[in-house]
Structures are given as C-alpha cells and as structure tokens.
Amino acid sequence: MTEVGVSDPLLAEGLAKIADEVDRAFDALLPVPEDARARLIEAMRYAAIGGGKRLRPLLLTAVAEMYGVVREAAIRAAIAIESIHVYSLIHDDLPCMDDDSLRHGKPTVHKAFDEATAVLAGDSLLSFAFEVLGDPAVSADPFTRIELVQALGHASGAQGMAGGQMMDLVAETSEFDLQTVTRLQQLKTGALLGAAVEMGAILGRVQPEGRAHLRGYARDIGLAFQIADDLIDHEGNAEVAGKAVGKDAAAGKETFVSLLGPDRAREQARMLVEQAIGHLSQHGKEADLLRAVARYIIERDH
C-alpha cells in the first residue's frame, strides 16, 4: 500500500507505514463499548480511522526516529496530536463553521451521524488526546509526558490552532493584510505542525540548539503548507483536495493567493521549502524523510 502520486520512494513508504500504524493504534485505543456510548465512539472512529495524509504523525515520528525513540512511544504521541487534528476537522466542518459535507472524500461526521454527535465526538477526541499523553505508554518519564501535554495544550488552544480558527472567522468580514494572514495561518495550521516536530524532539530529548533548527524547519513548512492549500483552493480541484474548493474567494477571505497572486505565492512556497531544508543542514541521511516531507508539501496539488 503506497500513496498514489508520491514520487519519492522514501516518502511513499513513510506515508503508507504511518497511515497503517495510526489506523491500527486508533482501532486498538478506541474499542466500541456495549452501551449507549457506542454511537459516540463510532463517530470518533469514523473520523479518526482511514482518512487523511497523517502528516502530523509522520512529522512527529520522523523526528523521533532521528533521535532513536522507540517506535511504539512515538506512535502514541502521534495518536494524541492526530486526535487534535481530527477533532478540529470535525468541528470545522459543522454547519455553524465551514458547513462542509465532504471530508477525505466521504460525508462529514455531522452528515454521517448528526450535529450533536459531531460536537461530542470532537470534544471527546480533544480529551482523548491528553488522556493518551498522560499514559506511561508514551514515556516512562513523567517529565517527558508533561512536556508533551504543555506543547500540545499550547498549540491547540486559543494561543494556537483555535485562535487561528477564530481569526479565520473574523477574516470573512475584515480586510486582512499579508502580515495578519501570515499570523492567522501560523496559528491555524502552523501551530499544530510545529507541535508535531516539537513533540518528536521532546521524546528524543533534543538539546536546545537542535530544537531551534527543528522549529525553524516546522515554521517554514507550516507556512508553505498553507500557501499550497490556498493554491489548491484557488485552482479548484475538489478531487485532489478531497473537500469543497473555491470557498475562500466565495467567503471573501484574503489568502496568500489573493494577496500575492498565484505565481508569487507558488514562488514563496518554494523558497520556504528550500529554507526549511536548510534548517536540516547539520543532519545527514537520517533527516531525508523530513526533507522529502518538505518537498511533498508543495507538490500535493500536482
């Protein structure tokens, strides 16, 4: 099982491997109970299993592997961050938010179940993320676990992803400049991608200097990722996106593409990817997967 359209064999293998591992871990950690909670767990499983590129788990485990972290521990931490990502998609798709009916090519949770169940499934995945990080299976060292909690808590809340989502809502009725759109995207998408790299570094007990380079890498690919997303939305291929496209323009939102134009936006994304790879210069072959991820991020629409 390899990812369609991924030319780099190392990346193709990495994507297929992590997709399988994440699916199996969610399956094992979310058994369906034999009571009235079954519907809730089924909704969580519906959203969490079998969809998405698993980019955050890939980043987290790629960094962890560079520093010799046991694979099972890294997968547990990856489940935590992916749970946050999945919850955010469930809530983002709600009628009162983006009102989307399609996600990863299948009906969104509130369409397949109902709105109340979608709200609760998102909430439960959010709690689940931190429950997973509390468990010693992530690390026998409580200090490592609490560092992971801090990193993920900060990245997911009002000072991170949710704050970015709020700015995104405000963007529909405001004229944002490039600086504000950059800040919005750094929070909305960048914070969690950054947390993925950071959590890998926490597990690997990476020293401050190494962490600073990894943070630079994460910041650059986060922004490149969002520019690529804007380009996909602008170019409007719903099949590639696996979701509705052309929505930003329809909602009157400023994006990197509307502010820079598609050509400069594409050029900017390419430059960021080069810069991201530059942050890995002190690493050898062991960072090849991170380099491949960086390149992949702007090639998703081809």
Do you know the residue count of the chain? 302
Contacts of 251 (CB under 8 A, 6+ apart): 172
Q: Which of residues 207-246 bind its own copies (CB under 8 A)?
A: none
Find all residues with CB under 8 Å of 276, minimum gap 6, and list them.
216, 217, 220, 221, 224, 294
Q: Is-contact 124 44, C-beta < 8 A?
A: yes
Q: Work out whether 94 is an interface residue with its own copies (CB under 8 A).
A: yes
With CB under 8 A as the contact rule, which of the stretches 11-19, 123-131, 223-231, 260-268 interacts with its own copies?
Answer: 123-131
Is 15 one of the binding residues for its own copies (CB under 8 A)? no
Q: Which of residues 175-194 bind its own copies (CB under 8 A)?
A: 176, 180, 183-184, 187
Q: Which of 130, 244, 258, 262 binds its own copies (CB under 8 A)?
A: 130
Cβ neighbours of residue 198 closer than 8 Å, sequence gap 6 or more:
151, 155, 211, 214, 215, 218
The closest of 82, 50, 83, 57 to 71, measured between CA atoms, is 57
Helix (H) or strand (E) holding 16: helix 9-29
Are the beta carbons of 245 and 236 closer than 8 angstroms? yes
Q: 3-state class of 103 per DSSP?
A: strand
Q: Which range binds its own copies by CB under 8 A, 89-97, 193-201, 225-233, 275-283?
A: 89-97
Contact letters for its own copies, residues 157-176 (x by CB under 8 A): xx-x-xx-xxx-xxx--x-x
- Is 156 a binding residue for its own copies by CB under 8 A? The answer is yes
Task: Please identify, using beta-carbon distances, which residue of 66 and 77 lies nearer to its own copies.
Answer: 77
Q: Which residues contact 138 (CB under 8 A, 6 or more apart)?
A: 73, 76, 77, 80, 132, 144, 145, 148, 203
**Closest separation in Å from C-beta 120 to its own copies:** 5
Token pair, residue 71, equals 């694979």
C-alpha Rg value of the chain to the nearest Å: 18
**Is 204 a residue that touches its own copies (CB under 8 A)?**
no
Residue 103, interface with its own copies (CB under 8 A)? no
Instruction: Tell me which of 5, 142, 246, 261 binds its own copies, using CB under 8 A.
Output: 142
Beta-strand runs (E) in 1-116: 102-103, 106-107
Q: How many residues bind its own copies (CB under 8 A)?
A: 59
d(CA 192, CA 152): 8
Provide, rounded to whole angstroms, the least separation between the CB of residue 169 and its own copies.
Answer: 5
Of 109-117, 194-202, 218-226, 233-241, which part binds its own copies (CB under 8 A)? 109-117
Binding mask 24-63 for its own copies (x = CB under 8 A): -----------xxx-xxx--x-------------------
**Should residue 251 be labelled a site residue for its own copies when binding is judged by CB under 8 A?**
no
**Residue 1 engages its own copies in binding (rule: CB under 8 A):** no
Binding site for its own copies (CB under 8 A): 35-37, 39-41, 44, 87-88, 91, 94, 96-97, 114-117, 119-120, 122-124, 126-128, 130-135, 142-143, 145-147, 149-150, 152-154, 156-158, 160, 162-163, 165-167, 169-171, 174, 176, 180, 183-184, 187
